[in-house]
Amino acid sequence: METADSSSAEVPRMAVRLPPFWPERPAVWFAQAEAQFTLAGINSKRINFCHVISQLDHRYATEVKDIITSPPERGPYTLLRTELVRRLSSSPEQPIRQLLTVEEIGDHKPSLFLTYLKILAAYVSDNVVRSVWTSRLTRNVQSFLAGQNESNLEAAALCADRISEVEVQPAFASVDEPRQRRTSAGDR
């Protein structure tokens, strides 16, 4: 039998599943966290604040301990988000230094490496990104792209992917003599 109070019962909500905090990309992490809050039907910024601080590792909680220990009456979540992003994000020059000195293509497809470089250096011109990107490709791919009049960087990346797929890998010479020679030499 239902009581009058049961009709006003709260609708069940989904549990909030925040991913582990990403100190190297706090703005992206907050976008994911806010999606989880929306899915769970949480509209309270105070509850968002509590969820976020419960998810922070001690190293990152220390970065905003002033906000955690004395949250403002108004906008604690917004302040926490703003300050975590500001305090943990690298300077604008850091990604550019990383782009120019650190990043290598490794085993990545050229197009995926290009996408990564563009994200890393979001405020750098395509000409600079293209120059760095092509300098990290194999000599064969660089030679082919140098002969192309392709101004579209994404099309050049797809072309580099195709070249990389068919690029001849170095073969290892066999140390063993062919079987026929061994057999005929043994017959003597």
**What digits encode the pLDDT tens for the residues 62-104?**
989 999 999 998 999 999 999 988 888 766 666 666 666 666 7
Query: pLDDT: is 134 or 170 the higher one?
Result: 134
What confidence tier does 165 reach under pLDDT thresholds 50, 70, 90? confident
Q: What is the mean pLDDT of residues 12-36?
A: 82
pLDDT digits (tens, 9 = 90+) for 103-160: 677 777 888 888 887 777 766 777 777 787 878 888 888 887 777 766 677 888 888 8
Q: What is the pLDDT of residue 91?
A: 61
Q: What is the pLDDT of residue 154?
A: 81
What confidence tier does 8 reach under pLDDT thresholds 50, 70, 90? very low
Q: What is the pLDDT of residue 187?
A: 54
Q: Which H, E and C letters describe the chain, residue by residue? A: CCCHHHHHCCCCCCCCCCCCCCCCCHHHHHHHHHHHHHHCCCCCHHHHHHHHHHHCCHHHHHHCHHHHHCCCCCCHHHHHHHHHHHHHCCCCHHHHHHHHHCCCCCCCCHHHHHHHHHHHCCCCCHHHHHHHHHHCCCHHHHHHHHCCCCCCHHHHHHHHHHHHHHCCCCCCCCCCCCHHHHHHHHCC
What confidence tier does 7 reach under pLDDT thresholds 50, 70, 90? very low
What's the whole-model pTM score? 0.48
Predicted confidence (pLDDT) at residue 24 exceeds the cutoff of 70: yes
Q: What is the pLDDT of residue 16?
A: 82
pLDDT digits (tens, 9 = 90+) for 39-57: 889 888 999 999 999 989 8
